[in-house]
Amino acid sequence: MSMDFSEFKRRLGAEPRSTDPDLVAARVASPENRAFAEEAERFETRLEDAVSVTVPEDLVDTIRAIPKRVGPRRTLWPVALAASFLVAVGAAGVAWQMNQGWDSVEDYVADHYRHDGDRLVAESLQAGRGDVHALLAEYGLDATPEMADAVSLVKRCPTPGGKGVHMVLHTESGPLTVIYMPDTAVTDHATMAFDDKAVVLVQLERGSAAIIGQARSPIETYYAMVHDGIVALAGRS
Q: Please say whether the structural domain 105-232 has been given the CATH code 2.60.40.
A: no
Tens digit of each residue's pLDDT (9 = 90 or more) over 146-166: 999 999 999 999 998 889 999
User: Residue ranges of the domains in the chain?
Assistant: 5-52, 59-90, 105-232
pLDDT band at 18; cut points 50, 70, 90? confident
Between CA 105 and CA 181 the distance in angstroms is 10
Model's pTM, two decimal places? 0.61
Residues above pLDDT 90, as percent of the chain: 44
Residues in the chain, overall count: 237
8 Å CB contact between 188 and 203: yes
Least confidently predicted of 50-54, 65-69, 70-74, 200-204: 70-74
Between CA 211 and CA 223 the distance in angstroms is 8
Least confidently predicted of 34-48, 149-163, 179-193: 34-48
51 CB-near residues (< 8 Å, 6+ apart): 156, 158, 163
pLDDT band at 204; cut points 50, 70, 90? very high
Between CA 237 and CA 56 the distance in angstroms is 22
pLDDT band at 132; cut points 50, 70, 90? very high
8 Å CB contact between 199 and 178: no
Q: Residue 222: which of 151, 141, 126, 128 has the closest Cα?
A: 151
Strand partners, 158: 163
